[in-house]
Amino acid sequence: MSQQTERRGGAVWALVITSVAGFMAALDNLVVTTALPSIREDLGGDLSDLEWTVSAYTLTFAVLLMFGAALGDRFGRRRLFLVGITVFTAASAAAAMAPGIDSLIAARAVQGVGAAIMMPLTLTLLTAAVPAAKRGMAYGIWGAVNGLAVASGPLIGGSLTEHISWQWIFWLNVPLGLVLLPLARLRLSESFGAGAPLDIRGTLLASGGLFGIVYGLVRAPVVGWTDGIVLLGLFAGTALLVGFVLHGINAKNPMLPMRLFRNRAFAGINAASLLMFLGMFGSIFLLSQYMQGVLGYSPTQAGLRMLPWTGMPMLIAPVAGYLSDRIGGRPVVAAGLFLQALGLGWFATVIAPDTSYAAQLPALIISGVGMSLFFAPASNLVMSSVRPHEQGIASGANNALREVGGALGIAVMASIFSAQGGYGTAQTFVDGTQPALWVGSAAVAVAGVAALLIPGRRRAAEAGEESTGTAPERVLETASH
């Protein structure tokens, strides 16, 4: 063990610190969903405001994720990790003290900035601290903690909202952040990446394009699809994203090289990831409000009743990993996506103002199994689709596209909800939610088709022979690039 490792505390401290940081960032993706009715009652606001309390976080998180990793490589991973924790913690306190819905949305956007800096560096710092022979176990623990955050988000948000107040879903991050800051400073070692130039232009193009499109989708149900600002957002956003694609084709060191998408495996799994999160996040956004506003469950009861869906990965993920090792990732991912689509379609069929929980349960379980089968092998498919020196970019791109899918899903499905129904009565809420769920189901089904386009195991293995290192070695190198 080197002197530096002894001084900093070694692998165990790195695992604890990075796992807690990852838990904080992952938790805030879904922790707000069960608190939305209480936030609306306390701070006011319409559907578009509720959308932005979720999307402001996921959008800034998504578009700055790869940029945050590049900043760490350039200026020091531990240094930027500390910056990310500081920003995230301060923004969490600001969200808890927000006097109105607009200030809450602004604080959520800043939270996303902090998470985008902090989250991609957790795996990089963990890899630097853990010996190669033990990284598999460390990654497993790190992934399980992040999975726990996703599973428990609605339940934690519901319990804190019901028994204390919704503000405590944000106050929860403050003591965790204050404890992590000195621990990270004292127990983690500094490291740097290759020092590639920062892609400022690419970041601005992606951020502006995504913001324009999401803003247009969120505002359109309120002011109409022909409103000048809505049309400007949609067209300008599309133009900026086209510019981002052209930049990724022509630039020397783009944040996302478009040549990666010539690989059918990389293109297929990323298309599947974006569409999966589009359908899943948009559905959870509406269904968590349906359980409280229509069926009359308390926030805690709503969070508990969603566990067969959100908590299923904790049980099924090991089985999915075993199946992926035996038969390959493509059939497991595709099966998971089609099951998720079936679950959402089932829910759309049974949803009504007086649907019993027994009628909902099969849809929740099927969706949970489907989500579990997707998550476990999807990351391996991403990593095995590129050469070792491209895995850092590939991982960042996949995570960013998932977050973009979540933000777009909430915007698209809330637009459908507004066009077909509303908050007026239980029946109008169901009238708006049902077609939105069908769209979510269709999006995830298309994701399943995209997964089927991924080359089979034999062809992937043949392609892998062109690059150095075995598949397990390539996975272990993920965070070092």
Q: What is the C-alpha to C-alpha distance for residues 11 and 78, in angstroms, rounded to an integer?
A: 15
Rounded Cα gap, residues 112 and 348, in angstroms:
31
pLDDT of residue 133: 66
Q: Are 361 and 304 in contact, with CB atoms under 8 Å apart?
A: no
What does the DSSP assignment read for 305-342?
Answer: HTHHHHTTHHHHHHHHHHHHHHH-HHHHHHHHHHHHHH
**The predicted structure's pLDDT at residue 262:** 84
For 186, list phi and psi in degrees, rounded to 5.
Answer: -95, -30
Lookup: tokens for 162: 């019901």
At 135 the pLDDT is 60
Q: Give the rounded distance of the alpha carbon of 433 from its chain centre.
A: 22
Q: How far is 139 from 80, CA to CA, in rounded Å?
A: 21
SS (H, E, C) 365-419: HHHHHHHHHHHHHHHHHHHHCCCHHHHHHHHHHHHHHHHHHHHHHHHHHHHHHHH
Please say whether the beta carbons of 116 and 68 come within 8 A: yes
Q: Which residues of the chain have pLDDT under 70?
A: 1-9, 30, 45-48, 132-141, 143-144, 146-148, 150-151, 193-196, 222, 313-314, 317-318, 321, 376, 379-380, 383, 388-392, 395, 456-481
| 85 touches 114 (CB < 8 A) | yes
pLDDT in tens, 419-442: 888 777 889 989 999 999 999 999
Q: Which two tokens stand for residue 269?
A: 């799994």
- Answer yes or no: are the C-beta atoms of 30 and 157 closer than 8 Å: yes
CA distances in angstroms from 34 to 303, 305, 352, 474, listed in the order given: 7, 11, 19, 39
> What is the C-alpha separation between 80 and 90, in angstroms, rounded?
15
State residue 478's pLDDT score.
Answer: 36
Average pLDDT, the chain: 79
Number of helices (H), then strands (E), belonging to the chain: the values are 21, 0
Tokens of 448: 């399943």
**∠ CA 329-331-332 to the nearest 5 degrees?**
65
pLDDT one-digit tens code per residue, 367-397: 888 887 887 677 667 767 777 666 667 767 7
Predicted model pTM: 0.74
Find the radius of gyration of the CA atoms of the chain.
21
Q: Is the dihedral of CA 444, 55, 156, 161 positive or negative?
A: negative
Segments in 164-263 forming alpha helices (H) = 168-171, 173-187, 200-223, 228-250
Query: For 205-260, how does the pLDDT look when each residue is reduced to its tens digit (9 = 90+)?
Result: 887 887 788 778 777 776 777 888 888 988 998 999 899 889 988 888 787 788 88
Cβ atoms of 307 and 314 within 8 Å: the answer is no
Q: How far apart are the first and last CA of the chain?
A: 23
